[in-house]
Amino acid sequence: MSQLQLSLLGTPVVKHGEHILTFSARKALALLVYLAVEGGTHTRKTLSESFWPELDAEHGRAALRATLLELRKSLEHCHGPGERAHLLVERDTLGIEQGSQLVLDLRLVESVSKQAGRLVEPFKDQAEGELLAQLEQATRLARGPFLAGFTLRDSQFFDDWTRQQREYWHLRLHQLFDALSMLYERAGDGERAIDTVSRWLGFDPLCEEGYRRLMRLRFSQGDRVGALRAYANCRAVLADELQVEPEPETVALAKRIRHTAPVRSPQSQPPHTSLGQPPANLLDGPFLGRSAEFGTLIKCYRHMHAGQPHLVLLQGETGIGKTRLATEFIGWAQAQGAEVLVGRALQTGRQLPYQPLIDVLRCRLEQGHSPDNLFSDVWLAELSRLLPELSDRYPDLPIPATDEALGHNRLFEAMVRLVQLWAARRPLVLLLDDMQWADTATLDIVLYLARSLAEQPAPVLLLLNLRTGADTFPDLQSSWVMALKRTRIPLTTLVLTAFTKEETQRFVQKLAWTEQPLEVGNTRSTDGCPENGEASTFRDALVPFANWLYFQTRGQPLYLVETLKGLLAREIILPSLQENGSWGLVLRAGLLAQTPIGDLIPASVRELIRSQLGQLTPSAWALLVAGAVLGKGLTFERLCQVAQLDELAGLQAMEELLRSGLLCEENLAEESRVFHGYTFPREVIREVVYQEAGATRQRLVQRRVSLVMQEQVGNDQGEEDNLPYPAPFDGHAPAETRNGKGRQLVAGAVSRGMRGKRWTVANDSSGVTRRHAGTGLSEKALLAEWERGATRLAASAFPRTPPGCPARAFFDTS
């Protein structure tokens, strides 16, 4: 029996299998809908009296029989004789089977609305992610009100029933749109939240709550014009349809938006341009991969809004997205009605005392808020230490205390009192960015503020961005953070990590790609990018391209964006003006596959890595260069051998590299054993290290690697080494490996990496003999098998390197 599908949210549509059913009589459709929605069985007497109230009992039952006959013919026409037609027909009752063969859009809406009603916090587990998908699916079913435009003029009963159902399902869909837009908003996905609210208002154009949410979302994105346009639309619709003005809450929100400058700028450029040039932010990626952290910030804001102060430490490496997350959040907080103040420390060697706090005070003054109506002259005089212009504005201020110790104490107290007075008016969010550069005085005053807020609670959220790394005074950071925790202020620490592979794919897919390529690639290489042709199709090349980006950057947001900009500068990515006047992107995957990896590193990323390398000690630099030459599967002992460092010097150098993030730990496996090893966190770091080493140092290190490998081959028949040997010269092969001697050394190293295949190496006067235990294969056959294994091993170690790079060049000629 085919499925019977009824889509009733909007103009009613009935499908039986793949066929859309039509009915000559409206009451046939009305009867079908009523039986399907109400369920159960109904007496013929009740149905005839309800649908044909103008007829007597006999004629009413006759009309019901005729309508039922039409229903049965319509259903039987689509599934053949002998099959049941979904109808439950008895002598005195009628009904419809309510099993899996009856599909109602109302059922999904009802089920999801019950789950949404139990939702407390967003994105706590996988179940809520599934709920998000179900909410999206359920709201997409809403094409309009229940049975839009469908009535029975001669059946008051059916029209009254329809009206009740319409109100019920309107409320259910209102809850679904509300929940879905709220989830997207809490996840920081403003684009999807705005799209959801727009669909919500399309479904219910008189919903003021939807207009208010749209206004807040637009304003949180920095689009004040769009927010006020939403308010104007709200006023116009209410005036036309109901002849009323918006609610006071809506008017107050519009007034606040009109008189408040957004703390962030709009992320999107107009899709059309008259200059013939693509917008500057064409490669600006979406805000994603931070839904859990954004939800945590909102949770902290809710606690603060209830009157409890909160401190949030936002930590992570350079370019990981701390400022982007904070900017998105303060935009959201400002749209909720909070006052937002921003300060930033500068990288001046801690020579500018109180710089972040001076930024905060000036930010407040630039908004037209003078502290004279909040403070007495005594405290204003203390603040004039930070803002000398206060003395010009208020020449009668007393002279601040000249005693240095007393002056610091009074200045700290003045700042605390000012923050508490600001928070007394409305909730305050105070963002201090780049606190790793803050001077000691700023750290002290923030510590004093945190302790004061813990003792005298006020609705203040302190959001401190703190970069991690060896160049940012880690010892001072650690002691200061521990002191903050001892103040007993509620504290939340968020440590940002790089995007996952899936998040990198989503990031790339959300860029403005066009589906009209220049040319289509013909073949595909192991790096996932087409080798031939100028450009690839949107669907074929986008995911492999995203995978290639992830391999190069390991999902680091700054490296990701800068790499895309570098590809745009090299015309590997081209802007394309489309027919509708908007700009899109075209990927020339063939050109990408032909470009050496070293040429694809953006200058900004190279300089960032160079700045980190410039702070290394000579021992750490030597160890890092050894790692760049060796490649993957690095062990401490092997690195020390190649770098010619003793264990103590090597240990100190390794600790320095781990603190700086230039190397990270990993577990290495060989057969059934697991070893502790190291790797470069991103391939681009290794490439820059190798290039910065220079040709002379490269040759010296490669020669030492060759000697180590030769020693390894000589000892191969001796006692088994307890250390896994890395893939030989992964990515950077010395020139001597192209001759017979070098290939013998590589053979010995690779054989140790292939113990799982029972390879052994014997070193005799004639060179390296390759043989397979327990077989009678000739040396020529064994050599061919070994080379295939070596190629596979190299490909697995360095899978997505474009053709023409050193690794691919070496293994192509071996």
418 alpha carbon, distance to own chain's centre = 37
pLDDT number for residue 533: 43
Asked whether residue 170 carries a pLDDT value surpassing 50, the answer given is: yes
489 alpha carbon, distance to own chain's centre = 30
pLDDT number for residue 530: 41
User: Token pair for residue 721?
Assistant: 């080494």
Asked whether residue 629 carries a pLDDT value surpassing 70, the answer given is: yes
Long-range contacts of 114-123 (CB under 8 A, 24+ apart): 116/175, 116/176, 116/179, 117/175, 119/179, 119/183, 121/295, 121/299, 122/182, 122/183, 122/186, 122/187, 122/291, 122/295, 123/183, 123/186, 123/187, 123/291, 123/292, 123/295
Please give the Cα distance from 141 to 383 (Å, whole number): 59
Domain parsing of the chain, residue ranges: 1-124+142-168, 309-324+336-495, 501-595, 605-813
pLDDT number for residue 532: 42
pLDDT number for residue 531: 43
104 alpha carbon, distance to own chain's centre = 35
pLDDT number for residue 781: 54
Q: Average pLDDT of 584-606?
A: 80
pLDDT number for residue 810: 30
Selecting from 4.10.860, 3.30.420, 3.40.50, 2.40.128, what CATH number does the domain 309-324+336-495 have?
A: 3.40.50
Please give the Cα distance from 529 to 802 (Å, whole number): 8
Asked whether residue 760 carries a pLDDT value surpassing 50, the answer given is: no
Asked whether residue 762 carries a pLDDT value surpassing 50, the answer given is: no
> In 3D, which of 244, 119, 226 has the Cα closest to residue 178?
119
pLDDT number for residue 369: 61
Cross-strand bridge partners of residue 493: 313
pLDDT number for residue 347: 81
CA dihedral 92, 98, 103, 105 (to 10 degrees): 90
Please give the Cα distance from 523 to 534 (Å, whole number): 12
The confidence band for 403, taking pLDDT boundaries of 50, 70 and 90, is low
698 phi, psi to nearest 5 deg: -60, -45
Q: Which residue has the higher pLDDT, 741 or 458?
A: 458
Arithmetic mean of pLDDT over the chain: 79
Interval 465-518: pLDDT, tens: 998 865 556 667 788 889 998 999 999 999 999 999 888 888 887 776 765 443
The confidence band for 566, taking pLDDT boundaries of 50, 70 and 90, is confident
> In 3D, which of 572, 602, 567, 565 has the Cα closest to residue 590?
572
- Residue 565's region, left for phi above 0, alpha for psi from -120 to 50, else beta, is alpha
Where is average pLDDT lowest: 223-237, 576-590, 655-669, 720-734? 720-734
Is residue 419 within a helix (H) or strand (E), and if so which, with residue range? helix 404-425
Asked whether residue 669 carries a pLDDT value surpassing 50, the answer given is: yes
User: Token pair for residue 808?
Assistant: 């691919």
pLDDT number for residue 248: 95
| Beta-sheet pairing, 102-104 with 4-7 | parallel
Residue written as token pair 């230039």: 662
> In 3D, which of 766, 763, 784 has the Cα closest to residue 712?
763
pLDDT number for residue 265: 66
The confidence band for 12, taking pLDDT boundaries of 50, 70 and 90, is very high
> In 3D, which of 220, 216, 322, 226 has the Cα closest to residue 265?
220
Asked whether residue 727 carries a pLDDT value surpassing 80, the answer given is: no
* DSSP code, position 9: B
> In 3D, which of 446, 494, 441 has the Cα closest to residue 466?
494
pLDDT number for residue 725: 38
Q: Which residue has the higher pLDDT, 34 or 755?
A: 34
> In 3D, which of 316, 312, 253 has the Cα closest to residue 431?
312
The fold adopted by the segment(s) 1-124+142-168 is Arc Repressor Mutant, subunit A (1.10.10)
CA-to-CA dists, residue 576 to 272, 337, 584, 587, 745, angstroms = 12, 40, 5, 10, 50
pLDDT number for residue 766: 30
pLDDT number for residue 769: 37
Contact status, residue 734 vs residue 774, Cβ threshold 8 Å: no
Is residue 77 within a helix (H) or strand (E), and if so which, with residue range? helix 57-79
Q: Which residue has the higher pLDDT, 553 or 764?
A: 553
pLDDT number for residue 368: 58
664 alpha carbon, distance to own chain's centre = 23
Asked whether residue 396 carries a pLDDT value surpassing 70, the answer given is: yes
Interval 58-80: pLDDT, tens: 999 999 999 998 888 887 765 55
Query: Which residues, 6 or more positions from 373, have their beta carbon under 8 angstroms from its beta carbon?
Result: none
Please give the Cα distance from 114 to 697 (Å, whole number): 67
CA-to-CA dists, residue 123 to 12, 186, 314, angstroms = 35, 9, 19
Burial class (CB in 10 A: 0-12, 13-18, 19+), 427: buried
User: Token pair for residue 775?
Assistant: 């077989």
Q: Average pLDDT of 125-151?
A: 85
Which amino acid, 207?
Answer: C
Interval 315-373: pLDDT, tens: 998 889 999 999 999 999 999 999 999 999 988 767 788 989 998 888 787 765 666 56
Interval 74-118: pLDDT, tens: 877 655 555 556 788 888 899 888 877 889 999 999 999 888 776
pLDDT number for residue 160: 94
Asked whether residue 805 carries a pLDDT value surpassing 60, the answer given is: no
> In 3D, which of 51, 54, 15, 12 has the Cα closest to residue 33?
12
pLDDT number for residue 522: 36
Q: How many CA atoms lie within 13 A of 582 on its CB side?
A: 12
Interval 240-276: pLDDT, tens: 999 999 999 999 999 999 988 888 766 544 444 444 5
Please give the Cα distance from 315 to 492 (Å, whole number): 11
- With H, G, I as helix, E, B as strand and everything else as coil, classify residue 584: strand
pTM of the predicted structure, to 2 decimals: 0.75
Contact status, residue 459 vs residue 307, Cβ threshold 8 Å: yes
pLDDT number for residue 127: 57
E-strand ranges in 602-670 read 664-670
Q: How many CA atoms lie within 13 A of 444 on its CB side?
A: 10
> In 3D, which of 586, 602, 589 has the Cα closest to residue 278?
586
The confidence band for 754, taking pLDDT boundaries of 50, 70 and 90, is very low
